[in-house]
Chain A
Amino acid sequence: MKPAPTAGVAPSVVVPAPGPPLVDVQELSKRFPVRGTQQALHAVDRVSFTIERGECIGLVGESGCGKSTLVRLLTRLLDPTEGRIAFEGRDIGAVPARRFAGTPERPRIQMVFQDPADSLNPRFSAFATIAEPLRRLGRVSDRQALGRRVAETADLVGLPRELLGRFPHQLSGGQQQRVGIARAIAVEPTLLVLDEPTSALDVSVQAVILHLLADLRRRLGMTYLFVSHDLNLVRLLSDRVLVMYLGRIVESGPVEEVFDRPRHPYTRALVSAVPVLDPGARRPRIRLRGEPRSPIDPSPTVCRFYGRCPDGFDRCEHRMPQLQPVGPDHLVACHLVDEERP
């Protein structure tokens, strides 16, 4: 289905394959109990979406919106409180996180972390870091075969082979991130989650890593979930985007559509707040009032954005808006959208 990852092979174009979605999330929720009380923090609240094979989905939202929790639920580092996560048709949410390492799905879902310095074990050399998933999940135990695989993966990510013996503190930020990417793709995952992979890197290094990620996706036919707070980056790499706010998805759709014609007031404010280099393209900023609502035991009938929203009317306080289509593949959870319809 996808070409074998060898260096020097011309990248082939991967078209999203038809068929059932790769990931199908339904009504996924995660609640954390608040210590000392009966309350719960609703980190992720009844989130549903799909990821098709071969596409790159962006996930944006401000801190506290639940993106990190959602990502950890998908990669099975956390157990969901409610809901279903279907991967290639199988319910992977049913297996508890601590036993997921033994399932055949473990190597198919991998992640690249935000802070390369924090995500590499300081006692492991680059070689050991990349070799570990191969040993544990790739069933590669023969020393020579392991060495070969690690070297191939290093070539794929542009990490010079001489650096394989080094420890993380002996590598630059960009090199560390390459090690992190190599580790993630060594077992040839189907779904790769990228959690702000370049936010700890300089702009010049960022461009290199982004090119690398796009190139790898083409070559290895992976599906990406790209989490970022930088909308410009999301626009560069993604096909579709999900906008989260306080644990819920408020808007989703093709990335150009959502960023050029945002329909949810939060998305509009978010897009207007991004600093723009080109003076001609600047738009007036939409100001938001106050602070976000508390995610602890939020009311199920009040829109999470109500109060901060520059608009907002009666119904927003009495009924939680649900995602509904406003265009081809473009969904928005907002009552204002109903008002705008003829």
Chain B
Amino acid sequence: MSAIPLLSVDDLSVEFRTRDGVVRALEHVSFTVGRGETVGIVGESGSGKSVTALAILGILHPSARVTSGRAVFGGLDLLTAGEDRLREYRGRELSMIFQNPRTALNPIRPVGRQIEDVLLRHANLARARVRDRAIALLRQVQIADPLRAYHAYPFELSGGMCQRVMIALAVACSPALLIADEPTTGLDVTTQAAILELIGDLAQQSRMAMILITHDLALVGERCDRIVVMHAGHVVEIAPTAELFAAPRHPYTARLIASTPRPGVTLADLRPIPGMVPDLRGALPACRYRARCERALPACEEPPLPRLTLGAEHTVACRVPL
């Protein structure tokens, strides 16, 4: 694929200054997202997947600092663009949906108004048309009785409906890229499937690219074209979905797959990953998985962290890939 990627994250490093020291939350994170492509970022807690999304959108916590890297989106480096430029992009070209839909919606404004806010800010619609467009959006996200939902407050809606509203907010201006950070964690399985299908359909209709961030391997397996696996602030492997599951090359990826319960696998087969995610403060070896890895060599401690390219789109950050 030689097309220019829609989003190109290159060598992104982010650190947080906290009372207990500097937390190096992300280090040399690189990946791309092509137009219309769905990329999954998967990892456990502390892997840095959410921080990556917030860094791209420029909405990190004030104690965070981007210490290196670029995030080029449509020719613009988002990390160095001014806040004014970014505000033009957010909501229009680039949008995000969050984990807990209730807390992401303003509790004291009716839902319809919140959608209208986005439309008025970015879509250049005449005021008279905005209401109809908002209701049309609510219908598009498969909310039964969109007129009633338009007037409703978030607390009057169920979790699944709130999430649909958030999706409506995010796609109101047909963004080129949608970042979904754990959009269905906490929702029922049936609602989860419906929401993901909705997002997938919307993405397909408007050729919208998507980054799906989750800890659930099976989810990315079903919904994504390519998968980025993260561990302790590093990208450890990037591969097309089928290839990742058929033949994972990074020891962590293999372990992650092996410890995910799925039909056909008994409890005896389920093998946990030894050790714990390392503390991101203080000194760390070049490969942050080293302490938990049975294939580790002394060389794994030494920088730089390798990035091997195996196959057309398959990269691994490991000296001894499987």
Give min CB distance, A289 to chain B, whole Å: 8
- A241, B262: Cα distance in complex, Å: 17
Find out whether the CB atom of A288 lies under 8 angstroms from the CB atom of B190.
yes
CB contact between A232 and one of B188, B242, B261, B273 (< 8 Å): that residue: B261
Q: Check B45 against A202 for contact (C-beta < 8 Å).
A: yes
User: How big is chain B's contact interface, by range?
Assistant: 35 or more
- For A46, list chain B residues within 8 Å (CB): none
Give how many A residues have a beta carbon under 8 Å from the other chain's beta carbons.
41
Question: What is the CA–CA distance of A232 and B188 in the complex, to the nearest angstrom?
Answer: 14
Chain A residues in 8 Å Cβ range of B242 = 279
Write out the residue numbers on chain A whose beta carbons fall within 8 Å of the beta carbon of B262: 232, 276-278
A275 to chain B, nearest CB (A): 4
CB of A191 closer than 8 Å to a CB of B: no
Which one of A13-21, A27-35, A208-216, A320-328 is at the interface? A208-216
- Using a CB-CB cutoff of 8 Å, which residues 204-236 of chain A contact chain B? 204-208, 210-211, 214, 229-233, 235-236
Chain A interface, >50% SS class: helix
Closest to B219 in A: A275
Q: How far is the CB of B25 from chain A (nearest CB, A)?
A: 17
In the assembled complex, B222 has its CB within 8 A of some CB on chain A = yes
Are A277 and B189 within 8 A (Cβ)? Answer: no
Contact between chains at A62 and B259 (CB < 8 Å)? no
Shortest CB–CB separation between residue B293 and chain A, in angstroms?
13
Which residues of A sit under 8 angstroms from B215, Cβ to Cβ?
202-203
Q: Does B257 lie at the interface of the complex (its beta carbon under 8 Å from any beta carbon of A)?
A: yes
Interface 1/0s, chain A 273-299, versus B by CB < 8 A?
111111101100101101100000000
B270 interfacial by beta-carbon distance below 8 Å:
yes
- Expressed in whole angstroms, the Cα–Cα distance for A249 and B261 within the complex equals 25
Q: Mark B194-212, 1 if CB is under 8 A from A, else 0.
A: 1001000000000000000
A278 to B265, CA, bound (A): 11
CB neighbours (8 Å) of A206 from chain B are 259, 261, 272
Interface flag for A172 (CB, 8 Å)? yes
Quick check: A232 and B259 within 8 Å, CB to CB? no
Known: A236-B266, A277-B262. Is A229-B222 also a contact (CB below 8 A)?
no
Q: Evaluate whether A277 and B190 lie within 8 angstroms (CB atoms) in the complex, with A204-B272, A207-B271 already known.
A: no
Q: Is B256 an interface residue (CB 8 A)?
A: yes
* B259 neighbours in A (Cβ, 8 Å): 203-204, 206-207
Complex interface: chain B residues within 8 A of A277 (CB): 217-218, 221, 245, 257, 260, 262
Determine the distance from Cα of A233 to Cα of B189 in the docked complex, in whole angstroms: 13
Number of A-B contacts (CB under 8 A): 111
Contact call A232/B267, Cβ cutoff below 8 A: no
A237 lies within 8 A of chain B by Cβ: yes
Bound form: Cα–Cα A287–B263 in Å: 21
CB-based contact A204/B221 at 8 Å: no
A291 touches B270 (CB 8 A): no
CB < 8 Å neighbour of B221 from A208, A232, A270, A275: A275
The reply to whether B272 and A211 contact each other, CB–CB distance below 8 Å, is: yes
B4 lies within 8 A of chain A by Cβ: no
Contact with A along B254-298 (1 / 0, CB 8 A): 011101111111110011110011000000000000000000000
Contact B192–A273 (Cβ < 8 Å): yes
Chain A, residue nearest B265 (CB): A236
Complex-state Cα separation, A274 to B190, whole angstroms = 8
The 10 closest A-B pairs by CB, nearest first: A204-B273, A207-B272, A275-B218, A273-B193, A62-B188, A232-B261, A202-B44, A207-B259, A208-B272, A277-B218
Listed in ascending order, the chain B residues whose CB lies under 8 Å from chain A are 44-45, 144, 158-161, 188-194, 197, 215-219, 221-223, 242, 245, 255-257, 259-267, 270-273, 276-277
Known: A236-B267, A275-B193, A281-B263. 15 other contacts (CB 8 A): A62-B190, A203-B259, A207-B259, A207-B261, A207-B273, A210-B267, A210-B270, A275-B216, A275-B218, A275-B223, A277-B217, A277-B260, A278-B263, A285-B197, A291-B158
Residues of A whose CB lies within 8 Å of any CB of B are 62-63, 172-174, 202-208, 210-211, 214, 229-233, 235-237, 259, 269-270, 272-279, 281-282, 285, 287-288, 290-291
